Amino acid sequence: MKLKIIMLAVMCIGVMHLSAQQLPVYLDETKPIEQRIEDALSRMTLEEKVAMCHAQSKFSSAGVSRLGIPENWMTDGPHGIRAEVFWDEWNQAGWTNDSCIAFPALTCLAATWSTDMSLLYGKVIGEEARYRNKNVLLGPGVNIYRTPLNGRNFEYMGEDPFLTSKMVVPYIHGVQANGVAACVKHFALNNQEIDRHTVNVNVDDRTLYEIYLPAFKAAVQEGQAWAIMGAYNKYKGEWACHNQYLLNDILRGEWGFDGVVVSDWGGVNNTMQSIYNGLDMEFGTWTDGLTDGISNAYDNYYLSKSFLKLLKSGEVKEEVVDKKVRNILRLAFRSTMNTKRPWGSFGTQEHALAGRKIAEEGIVLLQNKNNVLPIDLAEVKKVAVIGENAIKVMTVGGGSSSLKAKYEVSPLEGIKNRIGSQAEVIYARGYAGEKSGAQDGLGTGQDISDNRSEAELIVEAVKVAKEADVVIFVGGLNKNDGQDCEGNDRSSLGLPYGQDKVIAELAKANKNLVVVNISGNAVAMPWVNEVPAIMQVWYLGTEAGNAIASILVGDANPSGKLPFTFPVKLEDNGAHKLGEYPGNGEETYNEGIFVGYRWTEKEKIKPLFAFGHGLSYTTFSYGKVVADKKEMTVSDKISFTVNIKNTGNREGSEIVQLYISDLKSSVVRPVKELKGFQKVSLKPGEEKAVTIIIDKAALSFFDADKHDWVAESGDFEALIGASSSDIKAKTGFSLR
C-alpha cells in the first residue's frame, strides 16, 4: 500500500511539470468534465471498468492506478467520521489517530429549523471527512418519520417533506465544498428496520411524490448531490438498490441526476437487475450491513466476475458498463481528482464547538410550568442529577452511525462543569438498563453495571431528590438494539427500564423536577401533567453535556422546535391505527399522505406535543399577517409578512412557520401543510418583520393520473404559527 501511494505521488509530481497541451485530456482540469470522462473511459480496459463498479474492501472501491485515477473511499456516517476497520473485517483496525468529533444526530439538526446550522454542519463534517481522505460521506439520511418505532429515525430529519427538503440542501453544499460527495440515503421508502432486507413497500404514487420523494428531489436538483445510496427494502417487487422505477425512471429520468448510485451495504441481490436498473457501485454484498460478512468475497459480487463474463460474451453490451463508469469517473473528477479541493481538518476544537452550537439550537423545551427553567444558580444550593443516561456513553452503538469519538461530555459531567463551583451536584442512578455491547470491536470503555433492584434504585433516587433544590432526571432511550438503533425497531412507545415509575416518584418527592429526554424518537409520557419541565435533547455527540447544561442554566436560550409529532399513544399514529405495520413481507402505507401532523389534524387527535412545538425563556408576540396581493396566477409569487416582537427580557430566537390550507379541492388534502419557515433572533423588546415567499409549488398536489403536479384555482389560506397547533395569524388569498 505504501509503495502504491509513493508511485502515485511520483506520477502526480511528474504530471505537474507538464503543460496543459501535453496533459492527457482526462488529467487536464481546464477541460470540461464530460470531455475528461470520455477520454479516461477510452483508455480503460474492460477489466478496469468492471473493477470500478464494486467494492475491493469494506469501504473502498478500485481506481485505475496506471492512469492515476485514485480509489474511492467511503465513510459512515451522517454524524461523524467512522473509525478505520480492517480491509476485510468489521473490527477496528487499531489506529490511534482516527478519533473524530461526534456531531449531533440529524433529528437535532432538523430541530434547529436553521439552514445556517445545516450549512455549518455540512462544512465541519465535510472537513473531517476530507482530512481523513474520504471522498464519499454516507449521509445525510432523509427518510420520512412514518412511525415512532423506527429504530433509525434518529438519523433522519423528521416527518415533514418540506422541512427535510430545506434542511438537506445546505448540508450537501457544506460537505461538497470540501471535495467530498454527500451520499444521500436511503432511496427510497426505508421507513422501518424490521424486515428491512425483505419487505416490499406498497404506496400510491401521490403519497410517494408528496411525502417520501421531495427531500431526495431537493437533494438532487437544489443540493446537486454527487451520490445517492439505495435502500434495502423492495418497491414494486424490486430491491431499491436496483430498481427501475426509482433509479432509472425517477432519479435519472425525471430529476436528471448525474451522480453515482451506491448500494447500501448488503443491498444488492440480483445480477441482471444490478446491471440494468440504475446501480453504479456495489458494496457490502453478503453482509447484513453491520457485522456479518463472507471473507474476501469481492470478486464474486454481482457486479464483478459475473458482470465481466456477461460483457465478454456480448450478452451485455459494453455501453452498459460505460454508463456506470461515467458516473464513477464524474465522482472522481469532482472529488479525488480535483486538485483545488481544500485539505480539511479533523478533531478540532472549532469542530467541537460547532457541534455544541448546533446542539444548543436543536434542544427543544417541551414544557416549562412555573418557570422551573432556567435554573437560577443564585437561589439553588443543591442539584440532584438522576438517571442512567446522565452517565451513559451515547456515541458508540446504534449501527452504522457508531463513532469512536475523541471525547464525549456526559450530561452529568456537563452539569458539574457548569454549576459545580456554585452549587453541590449529587447523583443517583434511578434505573439501570442492559449493558452496552461492543460494536465492530469498539466498546464504550465504561462499566455502568448496577445489580441493585428496581426498588433499591428508586428509594435512593427519591432520598436524593428530597434533599435537592432542583432535580434533573436524565433518561430516555439509548443506542442499544431495539431502541434507537439500526437493524431493529422499538417494541413500544413507552420508556424502557421502568423509567415511568422513577419519574412518577420523583415528581412526588420534589416539585422542581426537570425531565431531560435523550432520544431520536417520540416517547410516551404518562407523567406529563406531574412534571413541570421537560426537555427533548436528542443524541448530541461530543459536547452533549456542555450543551445540555448551557440550556438548563440559561446561558443559551432554547430555540429548537420539534421536527415530528409526539403522539399520546401509538394508536394516534396513522401507520399503527390502520394496522399494517410492520407487515408480513408486504407493508402497505394505508395512511397515504396523512403522516405526522397531517394525520392528527385529519382525525382531530390532540398530540402530546405538536410538530413545530418548542418553548423559549422569553416570549414573542405575532402581529397581523399581510399578503402583498390577494390574487396570484400560476406564474406569480406571493409574499406574506408578519411582525414578530420579543416581549420578554431575554434575547431569543423564534421560528416563524407558514402553513398553507387549500379551502376547496377536487382531492382530499391535509388540513394544512408547512410551506415556509424562518428563524429570527430578537433582543428584548426588538421587533422584526418576517417575510416568507411562496409560488405555485406550495399550492400543488401530485395528480397520479396526469403524473404531474397540479395547482387548482380557488381560495387558500396562509397560516402563520409557532407550531402546527399554535396558529397566530392567517389571511386568505386566491389562485386564478
Mean pLDDT by 10 residues, the chain (736 residues): 43 49 90 98 98 98 98 94 95 96 98 98 98 98 98 98 98 98 98 97 98 98 98 98 98 98 97 98 92 89 97 98 98 97 98 98 98 97 98 95 97 97 97 86 91 97 98 97 96 98 98 98 98 98 98 98 98 94 96 98 98 98 98 96 98 98 98 98 98 98 98 98 98 97
Q: Is the peptide bond prior to 188 cis by the omega test (within 30 degrees of 0)?
A: yes
Contact 153, 145 (CB under 8 A): yes
Contact 50, 304 (CB under 8 A): yes
Helix (H) or strand (E) holding 271: helix 271-276
Closest CA to 162 of 212, 125, 123: 212
Closest CA to 410 of 283, 544, 286, 509: 544
**Amino acid, res. 195:** D
Contact 387, 473 (CB under 8 A): yes
| CA distances for 41 relative to 11, 26, 35, 36, 523, angstroms | 19, 9, 10, 8, 53
Q: For each of the domains in the chain, give its residue range(s) and CATH number, in order of start.
A: 2-89+98-334 (3.20.20.300), 349-562 (3.40.50.1700), 619-735 (2.60.40.10)
For residues 476 and 433, give the distance between their C-alpha atoms in angstroms, rounded to a whole number: 11
Whole-number pLDDT of residue 11: 45
Contact 173, 148 (CB under 8 A): no
Helix (H) or strand (E) holding 217: helix 214-221
The DSSP bridge pattern shows strands 234-235 and 200-202 to be parallel
Contact 121, 557 (CB under 8 A): no
Whole-number pLDDT of residue 301: 97
**Amino acid, res. 200:** N
For residues 464 and 471, give the distance between their C-alpha atoms in angstroms, rounded to a whole number: 9
Whole-number pLDDT of residue 21: 62
| The model scores a pTM over 0.85 | yes
Whole-number pLDDT of residue 292: 85
Q: What does the angle CA 145 – CA 149 – CA 152 come to, to the nearest 5 degrees?
A: 60
Catalytic residues: 264
Cα torsion 43, 49, 51, 53: sign:
positive
3-state SS assignment for residue 25: helix
The residue written with cell numbers 496543459 in the block is 20
* Beta-carbon count within 10 A of 1 CB: 6
* The three grid cell numbers given for residue 86, joined into one nine-digit string: 480492517
* Beta-carbon count within 10 A of 629 CB: 11
Whole-number pLDDT of residue 3: 37
Whole-number pLDDT of residue 113: 98
